[in-house]
Structure 1
Amino acid sequence: MIGDTVSNENVPELQSIWDEARAAVEQHDYDRAIEIYRYILIRYSDNPIAVEYANAYLGDIFLTLRKLDAAEKHIKKAIRLKPEEPRYHYILGFIYSIEKRWNKAMSEFEKALEKDPGNGEYLRGLGWAIYSSGDVARGLACLEEANRLQSGSVNIMTDLAVAYLSSLNVHKAIAYTEKAVLIDPTNAVAQDVLRMIRRFNME
């Protein structure tokens, strides 16, 4: 999720509400979490920090549920309240990536990296968007740099594996997939990539 609980100074009820919402998310009871955050938007509409966080959490939840229109609407509201928060731009970039709106995705990931230039996950998002837009060499370079910044990230390794497999560099695709599976043998994405490579080698 986005981060720690919002400051509840002078609003003693808020802490228990945030805790309840967080517990709902941890239990994957997203309907209950959405209900709580929407309550916060109404009950504390005059508290900009509470409104910012509630919108950000809603954006994150709706992204998880792949309800992209709702996710975009809420994360944009959070960005309007706190445009300097890199995580919000990352979420919006992720939404645009799922929708294959690569130019918009790149713009948001770049904004996130301006605020947090050493973040490997943000660079992964940018690298994948660049690669998917057709700039293969620059996209791979970004993904490799992301891997250096965040060594051991299964997500980055699987992106690299898919990208190299698509570029017909099977040797590197296998190397990154094997590393990812070694780190997390139960990772579904890594297992999917491994199956893709096996099918590719059989053709």
Structure 2
Amino acid sequence: MLVETKYNDLLKAADQYKLKGEHEQAIKICQEILFDDLNCVEAYEEIGDNYMNLRQYDKAIIALNRALKINPESPNALYLIGFAYSAISEWLDSELYLNQANKLEPNHPEILRCLGWTIFHSGRQPQGLIILNRAATLAPNDCFIISDLGMCQLSIRNFEAAEKNFQHILKIEPQNTRAKECLDACRYFKIRQNKTKAKTK
């Protein structure tokens, strides 16, 4: 969410470009803001977010670190840098920043989604699933959260739970290709699992 500043119109314009996928243009607008004010936290956050969309995580982390030097308690910057570290599988750094974001904005579904994903992939699967389930309870129709939960359940062979989650996504977004592929994978592995069980009886 954009904070009201004297650059609010420019930040809104950058956000619109970001939503259209025109990330380079969004970055340029934020750089114009920084030419006028090097301490505009929101501009650094927007730059970081856009670089993440471009999968340029090193540049995103640089921009977000600058935001945090100005405001170490910006929940948005902490969340974004935690997300960036999770994208490059730097789980310890990711958890550090996401925990800070969660303390500042508790029960925020998107922060919990990323925190749960990070903790799950750092090796603490039960704890990660608990946090992802909490995120899903807070935002039951958020397909990104439900998808991450389903992916984690699929990876630990909890096919029944994963199947239900991907079915739920397809009720909300019938054309969601990723959910269709994951649902097919659930059903395939479930059949194989049942065949294996039948052979061992």
- TM-score normalised by structure 2 residue count: 0.86
Alpha-carbon shift at residue 18 of structure 1 (Å) = 3.5
Which residue does the alignment assign to 1:153?
A: 142
Which residue does the alignment assign to 2:28?
A: 35
Which residue does the alignment assign to 1:57?
A: 46
Indicate the percent of aligned positions where both proteins have the same amino acid. 28
Distance 1:115 1:188, change over 3 A: farther
**Gaps in structure 2 of 5+ consecutive residues:** 193-201
Which residue does the alignment assign to 2:176?
A: 187
CA deviations on 1:87-123 (whole Å, 9 max, x unpaired) are 2111111111111111111111111110111112111
Q: 1:75 aligns with which of 64, 68, 85?
A: 64
**Gaps in structure 1 of 5+ consecutive residues:** 9-13
Which residue does the alignment assign to 1:136?
A: 125
Q: Which whole-Å CA distance do the structure 1 matches of 2:88 and 2:23 have between them?
A: 22
Q: 2:82 aligns with which of 64, 88, 93?
A: 93
Q: Which moved more, 1:29-38 or 1:104-113?
A: 29-38
Q: Is this contact kept in 2: 1:5–1:18, CA < 8 A?
A: no
Alpha-carbon shift at residue 40 of structure 1 (Å) = 1.8
Q: Which amino acid aligns with 1:89?
A: L
Q: Which moved more, 1:62-71 or 1:36-45?
A: 36-45
Distance 1:61 1:202, change over 3 A: same
Q: Which whole-Å CA distance do the structure 2 matches of 1:169 and 1:71 have between them?
A: 35
Alpha-carbon shift at residue 30 of structure 1 (Å) = 1.9
Alpha-carbon shift at residue 5 of structure 1 (Å) = 5.6
Distance 1:22 1:172, change over 3 A: closer
Distance 1:55 1:182, change over 3 A: same
| RMSD (Å), alpha carbons | 1.9
Q: 1:25 aligns with which of 18, 21, 38?
A: 18
Which residue does the alignment assign to 1:4?
A: 2
Which residue does the alignment assign to 1:115?
A: 104
CA deviations on 1:12-57 (whole Å, 9 max, x unpaired) are xx45533543343333222222222112212333xx2xx2111111
Distance 1:79 1:187, change over 3 A: farther
Q: Which amino acid aligns with 1:146?
A: A
Q: Which whole-Å CA distance do the structure 1 matches of 2:137 and 2:8 have between them?
A: 38
- TM-score normalised by structure 1 residue count: 0.85
Q: Which moved more, 1:66-75 or 1:180-189?
A: 180-189
